[in-house]
Structure 1
Amino acid sequence: DHRLDALVPMITWHDLAYSLSPNNAVGGRGVPGVFKWQWANGFYLVGEGRPVTRPSLDPSRINSLGCLHFVTEACRTFHTLNSGSYPAGRTARLLAFARSVSPVSYLHRVKAPTLLVQGQSDTLFNLNEATATYRALSAQGTPVKMIWQSSGHSSGPTAPATGELDLSKGNLETSYVGRRVLAWFDRHLRKRTHVDTGPAFAYHRDWVTDPDRAYATAGRIPVPGRTFYLSGDGKLVDNRNKVARGSRTYTNRLSPTSHSDSSLAVQSGLPAAPPRDTKGTYLDWTSAPLTRPLDVVGAPRVTLRVHSPKAERAQDSGDAADKLVLFAKLYDVAPDGTRTLVRRLVAPVRVPDVTRSFTVTLPGIVHRYRPGHRLSFVIAASDDAYFGNRGVKPVTVISNEDELHSLQLPTVD
């Protein structure tokens, strides 16, 4: 729209196909993801509850599929996702519709200077969404910068004391994010060309309490560099020569056995249950205690090969729901053994082909692993915020010199 001179999108999506049914496997774009039923059905019920919450709305707007307040294609998308069956033709239409109402489909037309603000505590639209938009705009020459603030859809109150923008408190001029927004509009809306709009990339550090230092800046987004290896004895080691030979197996059950996200509880003000995994339904690899701080800023990547004969036999059925589903995630393990799932984030994966290795991009994080703490990487069979596997599919991970599995972390000094 030529009438728009400057944009500041906040905690929004890049691709709804990823937001509501993510597949974090690299190259898995053509494979339907794992339905994020908790968030999606929450929105669906809010919409369909309008006759009760908004009785003045026209009750005659019922489309052919029986949805009261969604257009036919949106209604069909919800029905397909909730069916648990994803045949190729139907899911191709679903993905096409989701992308048609997403920035990914029209970013090539966005020329207005854009300051992206995304939340680290966000299991609905994670940092990877803004990163994808940032890279697309940057590649085509649209002026763009990005800030990763702390709060998002999955957090409670903001943290204005450490530079967070909270519009309800009117702290545009006193918060770091607020000042960046004002500078952006001064430069690109009011055409004050002398105004400095700040660095290309900034991120909030929750381990820094000084409001003048809580945000760190960089000229670019860090990329994965530091590598750990998944050893057959359950250790996460920093050298491939330390990898022990071995294999371990987990088995999913017909009901979810892992919990990560309580975002709907947070949104409604209810207590959030802590993350958990049930013994026998996940595998973990844990590092030795760290001797110095490890600051992870960005999206970690892991390369895996799993063995699952049942999944292999079923994966070419023509229904993507028969492909293996797993969830990758990072924990911070304190010296007393307390485990913290970083920002409650997980990477859902519908494995494209279990006969081959695959790479997973985890959600972006900003997290300090303190000295004495340990880094733990987990793959779990299920997560109760998502749909899971169709049927029981045991999974084995083998580690040896021929099958190396690596975790790469984007770190900063």
Structure 2
Amino acid sequence: LGFGKSGCLVSLDDPRIDGAAASGLVDFLAGTRAADDGTKADYVTKDGKGDPRVGMIGGSYGGAIQLATAAVDHRVDALVPMITWNDLAYSLDPNNAADRSVPGAFKWQWTNGFYLIGEGQPLLEPSLDPSRINKLTCLHFVTDACETIRTLNSGRYPSDKAGPMLDYARSVSPVSYLKQVKAPTLLVQGQSDSLFNLNEAQATYGTLKAQGTTTKMIWQSWGHSGGLTDPASGELNLAQGNLETSYVGKRILAWFDRYLQHRKDVDTGPAFAYYRDWITDPGQTYATAQSVPALSRKLYLSGDGKLVDNRSKVARGSRAYRNWLIPTSHSESSLAGLIGLPDPAPRDTAGTYLGWTSEPLTRTTDVVGSPKATLKVLSPRTERVQNSDDAADKLVLFAKLYDIAPDGSKTLVHRLVAPVRVPDVTRSFTVSLPGIVHRYEKGHRLQFVIAASDDAYGGNKGIKPVTVTSAPEDTGVLELPVVGQ
């Protein structure tokens, strides 16, 4: 709703609005509701009186609407949500610290890109009823959504209002209503997606599985970032409609055969599958597993800037960085790939980040899942103000993983970063990095970085110098989900 010729305000796939409207379409299929011209649906397979057999598939906004619909209408029989969100509060204002008691770092590029698309609908569709325009706040968003976006853009996070600001985004997100979803759900998420990363699908998958809803998950190559309209060879390409020949497409067809056609002999595939971009044979690019790999390897942050595999190898030492009043690191231009513009390579400015680098790897290392880092930083200037009424006074940093080739060239893995608004700089904290699927080749080095800023996100309020101290008995730890060890 709110896009094309629907004429409604954008309500972010709210189950109470968008889900209810979709339920009306199910009524139409059931024959209990006619179109405005009196037309009724014909040739609809039904499971019972008033119960048409319905499956849904779609991506992004068209992914969350499936979950919203299934939450309010249990006549929906099968879902395939693709590259969509679990929690918009995390998507738009992510805080990857385990303690999310404070807001995150505003993902301003993606959020305002979507906002402009929504606000532009009355111009793109001049025939829309002008009475539908929200004259009180935004042109084409419901008031609560508009206020959320405006507060995020203000950069102000008052402690007494931060919760309500994020509560609306969370209330219209699957995280708040997944308990009502009973339809078998095949989740498909993109590895190259900084808007809705793999952690979103993993959160939805975990909730559905825990409550007994039939669910499986696939991590495909493409998402919102860069490759949305140009999938890798052999990958599902919605523009081409290659469902019958791509791995993901075959899995989708099998899902609908099983849960729409009720063909109980159909194999719907493994619980979890993931795309490997280092495999050249299109027919062998997916690996399968019964679950997302667990954290299995620890590396330690040494005081000399090394990433070591044993705590006893940690050198004592302190290293520091400071932020500027303008961003000094670049991960991506979020909308560049979608609109066909070039995007400069990722970079970090000297003095505004710290990196810890491993020795050259003695064998290939495949990382599949969400790495985790436990950190402790010193920032006296932050400590003096972090308990103020404005949560924006807390320290912001960005954690990320690079792959350094033997020739020194660096790759920011899938251009993903983990924004963190540190709850309390006097205590250690845990960071969940975005999920990745990446092969570190033999001879390459793994680098873990924390940076002061990122130009795709909001940043620190004021200058906040940071020091990281390491000792064998007390240092930061990076944990990796490594497969095939």
Judge which range, 256-265 or 200-209, deviates more: 256-265
Secondary structure of 2:239 counterpart: helix
Matched, 1:96 2:143: no
How far apart are residue 159 of structure 1 and its match?
3.6
Q: In the aligned structure 2, how far is the partner of 1:402 from the partner of 1:307?
A: 17
Task: List alignment gaps of at least 5 residues for structure 1.
Answer: none
**Which residue does 1:24 correspond to in 2?**
96
Contact 1:158 1:165 in 2 (8 A): no
Q: Which has the higher contact order (CA 8 A, sep 6+)?
A: 1
Contact 1:160 1:175 in 2 (8 A): no
**Which residue does 1:55 correspond to in 2?**
126
How far apart are residue 46 of structure 1 and its match?
1.5
Aligned mate of 1:128, from 199, 223, 226:
199
Aligned mate of 2:445, from 343, 353, 374:
374
Matched, 1:13 2:85: yes
Q: In the aligned structure 2, how far is the partner of 1:401 from the partner of 1:243?
A: 5
1:5 partner amino acid = D
**Which residue does 2:256 correspond to in 1?**
185
Aligned mate of 1:206, from 277, 284, 305:
277
Alignment map for 1:155-304 (pairs within 5 Å): 155-156=226-227, 157-159=229-231, 161-162=233-234, 164-304=235-375
Q: In the aligned structure 1, how far is the partner of 2:221 from the partner of 2:388?
A: 43
Q: In the aligned structure 1, how far is the partner of 2:134 from the partner of 2:161?
A: 19
Q: In the aligned structure 2, how far is the partner of 1:259 from the partner of 1:359?
A: 23
Contact 1:5 1:189 in 2 (8 A): yes
**Which residue does 2:74 correspond to in 1?**
2
- Could you tell me the TM-score, scaled by structure 2's length? 0.83
Contact 2:311 2:473 in 1 (8 A): no
How far apart are residue 56 of structure 1 and its match?
2.1
CA offsets per residue over residues 357-397 of structure 1, 9 Å max, x none?
00000000000000110000000000000000000000000
How far apart are residue 293 of structure 1 and its match?
0.2
RMSD (Å), alpha carbons: 1.1
Matched, 1:325 2:379: no
Secondary structure of 1:302 counterpart: strand
Contact 2:297 2:479 in 1 (8 A): yes
How far apart are residue 90 of structure 1 and its match?
2.0
- Tell me which structure has the larger Cα radius of gyration: 2
Task: List alignment gaps of at least 5 residues for structure 2.
Answer: 1-72
**Which residue does 2:46 correspond to in 1?**
none
How far apart are residue 62 of structure 1 and its match?
4.6
How far apart are residue 318 of structure 1 and its match?
1.8
CA offsets per residue over residues 207-257 of structure 1, 9 Å max, x none?
001122100000110111101000000000011100000000000000000
Contact 1:59 1:68 in 2 (8 A): no
1:174 partner amino acid = T
**Which residue does 1:45 correspond to in 2?**
116
Q: In the aligned structure 2, how far is the partner of 1:278 from the partner of 1:381?
A: 10
Determine what percentage of the aligned residue pairs are the same residue.
71
